[in-house]
Amino acid sequence: MTNSLRASVRRIVPLAWPVFVGQVAVLGFGTVDTVLVARHSPTDLAALAVGGATYITVFIGLMGVVLAIGPIVGQLYGAQRLREAGHQAWQALWLALALALLGSTLLAFPAPFLALAQASPAVAGKVRGYLLALAFALPAALMFTVYRGFNVAVSRPKAVMVLQIGGLGLKVPLSMALVSGVPALGIPALGVVGCGIATLIAMWLQALLAWALMRRDPFYRRFELAAPGQRALHGASLRALLHLGVPIGLSILVEVTGFAFMAIFISRLGEIAVAGHQIAANLVSLLFMMPMGLANATSTLVAQRIGAGDLRDARRLGWHGMQFALMLALVVGSSVFAARAQVVQLYTDNPVVVAATLPLLAWVALFHAADAVQTVASFVLRAWRIATAPMLIFVGALWGVGLGGGYALAFGHLPRLLGLPAGWQGARGFWIASTTGLTLTAFALTGLLAWVLSRQRRAHVITAGVAPARPDPAGQAAA
């Protein structure tokens, strides 16, 4: 590791580790549910896979739109335009509430998703109950996203981490009680529906505590959140959020649905196949928290340096964040692959489900490395307000190659036409195609970032003696 890279890592890690811990706590919601439901019944686990994929599809896309607050506030904070940063927090909150109305309606009426999954009546009934609880949890989740995006952008990720850990601390005993029941207290065994109710309670408590902290913590006074006019809707600010947030949200939606829809399609192969996929998906999601933390931290620093006008440092931090994430991903992915049998045993002792899961983890090292690179690259591009071109890359590589190719391998005649072994069919076919699509995404986004920074560097050199290099955070548009 060079001295320059080591110096950048020292700046990235203090911001990255609280994001990592907090996101692991968030993923812990799904991990706890997966472990508890896996030991409750295969039918409930299948319902969790379909219901979880549906919720993620709705929530993640809307969350991505709200998270446009990150690059915008990061640049404003770097430029020390703090009142404007506080104003953007209010605009993001109004946007979150409007999006919650749309998302909650989709979750309360999940018929299209159930038809796509071709779920059995028993599974469909459990999915409906689970998603109804999450429909009421969604507004709190999106409001907390505003708190999260704002705090990470102003280099305060520990404030988010504490609440996320607290939410998990409440979620665990609630899920344990509601999934299996507590006869002594008159609580029936609700299975997967109990998971949804536990999430509903935990998310609203998180959101209310976040609101209380922003009102009482002296740190937020500098942003003048309570000043006259700060809360008023502002068309230009909302348009800036949407201009950047919509392509970000669509990118995240494509990325997540390219993976989450695997569960919906794999559910057609039966309860055991989708149960194995659910465990593998949860494990990969847990590994993803490391590059997610590094991507958030790198993007925050890049946005702040752009706002401060130090574009050379912004470019250097972006490349170093990608390099560090790739190195860690190769080490972690290889370690998990080597111990995959022991890892799966932590989820379930059902030998049939274990046998269905192990082949899916054969691609984990490459999958995780590609995931790390594309995550950091996409976040750094967002810090530069580049969002539309990455969205198109996600559509082609993750939907076209990953999801479309996976469907052709799992259900079509492609393996037979290409003379591929039988093991390339079924759930494994989806994982092979998904890994290929993710690898293409990583290469494409890295190339795009190199092109963007090269153009920016040349423009900076040309204009260095003519005009200030500092951009206007409120006036930039998504490319």
Residue 74 tokens, joined: 């990061």
Does 468 score more than 80 pLDDT? Answer: no
What is the per-residue pLDDT for 473?
A: 44
Percent of the chain residues topping a pLDDT of 70: 92
Quick one: which of 15, 14, 25 has its CA closest to 164?
A: 25
What is the per-residue pLDDT for 416?
A: 63
Percent of the chain residues topping a pLDDT of 90: 53
Q: The pTM is what? A: 0.82
Q: Which has more pLDDT, 238 or 185?
A: 238
With tokens 């790739």, the residue in question is: 326
- CA–CA gap between residue 34 and residue 41 (Å, rounded): 11
Q: How far is CA 325 from CA 210, 316, 417, in A?
A: 30, 14, 38
The size of the chain, in residues, is 479
Interval 463-476 mean pLDDT = 42
Sorting pLDDT into bands at 50, 70 and 90, what band is 462?
Answer: low
What is the per-residue pLDDT for 308?
A: 93
Does 471 score more than 70 pLDDT? Answer: no
* pLDDT one-digit tens code per residue, 203-223: 999 999 999 999 999 999 999
Does 224 score more than 60 pLDDT? Answer: yes
Q: How far is CA 406 from CA 250, 261, 285, 358, 364, in A?
A: 21, 11, 19, 18, 16
Quick one: which of 82, 384, 148 has its CA closest to 248?
A: 384
Quick one: which of 299, 292, 331, 294 has its CA closest to 314?
A: 299
Sorting pLDDT into bands at 50, 70 and 90, what band is 301?
Answer: very high
Sorting pLDDT into bands at 50, 70 and 90, what band is 289?
Answer: confident
* pLDDT one-digit tens code per residue, 106-118: 999 988 888 877 7
What is the per-residue pLDDT for 464?
A: 44
With tokens 């999915």, the residue in question is: 127
Quick one: which of 135, 158, 134, 160 has its CA closest to 147?
A: 160
Sorting pLDDT into bands at 50, 70 and 90, what band is 423?
Answer: low
- CA–CA gap between residue 257 and residue 176 (Å, rounded): 28
- CA–CA gap between residue 186 and residue 200 (Å, rounded): 20
Interval 235-249 mean pLDDT = 92
* pLDDT one-digit tens code per residue, 314-338: 999 999 999 999 999 999 988 888 8
- Beta pairing partners, 182: 187
Q: How far is CA 105 from CA 82, 100, 108, 133, 268, in A?
A: 36, 8, 5, 12, 26
The mean of the pLDDT values for the chain is 87
What is the per-residue pLDDT for 475?
A: 44
* pLDDT one-digit tens code per residue, 1-25: 666 899 999 999 999 999 999 988 9
Per-position DSSP letters for 349-388, written without gaps between them: --HHHHHHHGGGGGGHHHHHHHHHHHHHHHHHHHHTT--H
Does 478 score more than 60 pLDDT? Answer: no
What is the Rg, in whole angstroms, of the alpha carbon atoms belonging to the chain? 22
Interval 32-48 mean pLDDT = 85
Q: Which has more pLDDT, 43 or 13?
A: 13
How far is C-alpha 226 from the chain's CA centre? 31
Residue 46 tokens, joined: 């299948």
Q: Residue 187 — φ and ψ, nearest 5°? A: -95, 120
Quick one: which of 47, 193, 196, 54 has its CA closest to 116?
A: 54
- CA–CA gap between residue 220 and residue 225 (Å, rounded): 7
- CA–CA gap between residue 31 and residue 276 (Å, rounded): 14
Sorting pLDDT into bands at 50, 70 and 90, what band is 74?
Answer: very high
What is the per-residue pLDDT for 461?
A: 55
Interval 345-371 mean pLDDT = 81
Q: Which has more pLDDT, 475 or 430?
A: 430
* pLDDT one-digit tens code per residue, 168-179: 999 999 999 998
* pLDDT one-digit tens code per residue, 178-206: 988 887 777 888 889 999 999 999 999 99
What is the per-residue pLDDT for 119?
A: 78
What is the per-residue pLDDT for 422?
A: 57
